Structure 1
């Protein structure tokens, strides 16, 4: 069982490598939700995420003999960067296994932080496949495995966040934590308990990878058969055994948030606060939208877990946000193949509507041909008018915006 001495010792090991990040009052969010909302800015760490805490604590606590064996880890990105920086600072050789789907920006930064002390191996489509490969390397080569979340030394490192929170704000009403594998929330729970606090702790997962939520509902750690990897830093098919046990023993509430709504939250922070968040770093703040009635008048801590956004993903993030907010729809339309058909269609649109995409799917000599049309509008009322106009004009159509099969194939 972890003690306060374990956590303070981890914080002492950090030295200059790990920052005591600010607890920043958010005037915008506080006004929006009628609460006192503070952001724990882990995106301001050198590696732009909290992951350096656990990785550095584990690696720095190894014996000299263990360090000579080398270290290995599996990561969807942020743990790899914390691991790489730790290897470079401690001058230990390490190997990183990452999913092939890991954003290029995270792979590049891992190289940058680790330099000559690390080797990167891209393998598999999910974290769990990379994890399996890393565990095999551990067995074959005798290296020390640095788990991203399911190790008490990792949890101890993440618990230092909790110490910093309570030093700055001794009595918060709620702390909102991300859950991927469960490292952060396990650390925050541990810090709360050793300090004798009663703060409510809420865990947040993406809807497409809600493995902790499912496990707690089934009263056993459960592996999801399929996950959505859009929130790449928090998409894990199975949470850690230690992490599940800690959450289960403390009756932790876990909520899931829709990926497309998370995209709107990312854009809100970028536009209104100038803060760059990755999807896994935005799910905690996005949860405020689900908890709005419960948090009024309370002191709320939001763990901002990471800011490693691959900017090449911005077009997709904007696309998903528009879909969630009801400002963009895609249609398959049977388009008459006659002169003036396009002009007729344009008359169905209002002054604030815009065609974002127009593509013939298949041209033929028939009277009609399928066309995919993407339309941006101010909201649902505009689309209702457009659809009524299409029906009145004799244009057959199908709304494919929320049809994942069509959408992923065509868009």
Structure 2
């Protein structure tokens, strides 16, 4: 569904349909807690509540929309089977629904999908699903899944741009309003294709219009931000795939229309900031959040003044994080915070040069965490790629100055993304 048809352009989620969805999915979803966060409430001097969708059986809210859509299909369509494309969480929701409803499903996922999400999809679906890894991005998988579905007459279960999916995700808003003991001033929620925010914002617009609904997406895949700026759905040519649960090149057409009308504001957050939030959640609250799941909390810094003394809900949308990504998450967080830096350092090719660098250039709290060097004969200097971790970001400028003063400075790599990715 690439463009709005006359029918879908007029579509607005009706409360009756959302309430029906809530009843329909109650067989398979959990009433996830709306938990007060002591850590974030103290940090922002506000009442911060976390809607813990990471505690669903498939560890994300996606089960809501997937099950609502599939369970509402006529029996003859269920007998033919369904097909979907997903970066991971929607796949697990579809797989769970197929197993529960005993209908065959074909699930396309990008080749780059974290292994943990692929294995979970296969586990939830069992014998009822076939997982097909195709394409580098969600959008690549989506296009191939659509073709496959048309060839085999399978019902396509869109991860976000479908009324039944939107209504399923919108049930979160009903739960929040039922669980909250006081009026809600702000809701922060993540956005990839826009299904969650389209449904969420529509319900709040009708039942709690004073609530400001804020959308949050990754800076490297800010497709809704670009679309809202252009006044139409925009397809990004390239995206950063790290926040796999929200990395889409093109938001849903229905969702764009609803978000444009209902959102208070749209934010894009650097991936490094999201990584730091993941680490904070784990270290401070023992919560395992995936990158997309932590985005809403990562955005609170941008509203630190506005939310003081307010009632704020953040959707913690998913906890499907692969432990093998921990090193990358830590690295990105350190780079974002200015504590990790990579250089090409030019070492004089003589004995004692490294010792001189350590003793005269490095500060007392600086640590070498990466070192690649190959001695070049018949040359005065030999370049090395050196990674240095600082205790305080303010130590960076003095470190660079000492490198230059002692003729070790070659090139700063953090500001050269292509070279940085190649070397480190």
TM-score (norm 1): 0.98
Deviation at residue 351 of structure 1 after TM alignment? 2.0
What is the rounded CA distance, in whole Å, between the counterparts of 2:401 and 2:365 in structure 1?
16
Equivalent position of 2:351 in the other structure: 339
2:99 aligned with 1:88: yes
Deviation at residue 156 of structure 1 after TM alignment? 0.4
**Larger deviation, residues 385-394 vs 155-164:** 385-394
Aligned pair partner of 1:376 in 379, 385, 389: 389
Equivalent position of 1:261 in the other structure: 273
Aligned pair partner of 1:210 in 217, 222, 227: 222
Equivalent position of 2:198 in the other structure: 186
2:414 aligned with 1:404: no
- Any conservation in 1 of the 2:13–2:199 contact (CA below 8 Å)? no
2:327 aligned with 1:315: yes
Partner SS for 2:363:
coil
- Any conservation in 1 of the 2:214–2:263 contact (CA below 8 Å)? no
Deviation at residue 249 of structure 1 after TM alignment? 2.2
Using a 3 Å threshold, how does the CA distance of structure 1 residues 190 and 362 change in structure 2: closer, same or farther? Answer: farther
What is the rounded CA distance, in whole Å, between the counterparts of 2:263 and 2:288 in structure 1?
32
Partner SS for 1:202:
strand
Using a 3 Å threshold, how does the CA distance of structure 1 residues 179 and 361 change in structure 2: closer, same or farther? Answer: farther
**Larger deviation, residues 95-104 vs 194-203:** 194-203
What is the rounded CA distance, in whole Å, between the counterparts of 1:56 and 1:91 in structure 2?
12
Using a 3 Å threshold, how does the CA distance of structure 1 residues 114 and 223 change in structure 2: closer, same or farther? Answer: same
What is the rounded CA distance, in whole Å, between the counterparts of 1:176 and 1:77 in structure 2?
22
Alignment of 1:149-298 (within 5 A): 149-169=160-180, 171-195=183-207, 197-250=209-262, 252-298=264-310
- Any conservation in 2 of the 1:42–1:305 contact (CA below 8 Å)? yes
- Any conservation in 2 of the 1:72–1:146 contact (CA below 8 Å)? yes
Deviations 1:353-381 (A, max 9, x none): 11111111563421111101111111233
Deviations 1:249-288 (A, max 9, x none): 2254101000011111100001000000010001110000
TM-score (norm 2): 0.95
- Any conservation in 2 of the 1:325–1:379 contact (CA below 8 Å)? no
Using a 3 Å threshold, how does the CA distance of structure 1 residues 228 and 318 change in structure 2: closer, same or farther? Answer: same
Partner SS for 2:215:
strand
What is the rounded CA distance, in whole Å, between the counterparts of 2:60 and 2:313 in structure 1?
16
Deviation at residue 291 of structure 1 after TM alignment? 1.3
- Any conservation in 2 of the 1:361–1:372 contact (CA below 8 Å)? no
Equivalent position of 2:32 in the other structure: 21
**Larger deviation, residues 244-253 vs 16-25:** 244-253
Alignment of 1:114-129 (within 5 A): 114-129=125-140
Using a 3 Å threshold, how does the CA distance of structure 1 residues 35 and 364 change in structure 2: closer, same or farther? Answer: same
Deviations 1:31-81 (A, max 9, x none): 100110000000000000000000000000011111011000000000000
Question: RMSD between aligned alpha carbons?
Answer: 1.2
What is the rounded CA distance, in whole Å, between the counterparts of 1:227 and 1:381 in structure 2?
31
What is the rounded CA distance, in whole Å, between the counterparts of 1:201 and 1:283 in structure 2?
14
- Any conservation in 1 of the 2:349–2:375 contact (CA below 8 Å)? no
Aligned pair partner of 2:45 in 34, 51, 75: 34
Using a 3 Å threshold, how does the CA distance of structure 1 residues 142 and 361 change in structure 2: closer, same or farther? Answer: farther
**Larger deviation, residues 348-357 vs 274-283:** 348-357
Partner SS for 1:100:
coil
Aligned pair partner of 2:376 in 352, 356, 363: 363
Equivalent position of 1:393 in the other structure: 406
What is the rounded CA distance, in whole Å, between the counterparts of 1:193 and 1:65 in structure 2?
36
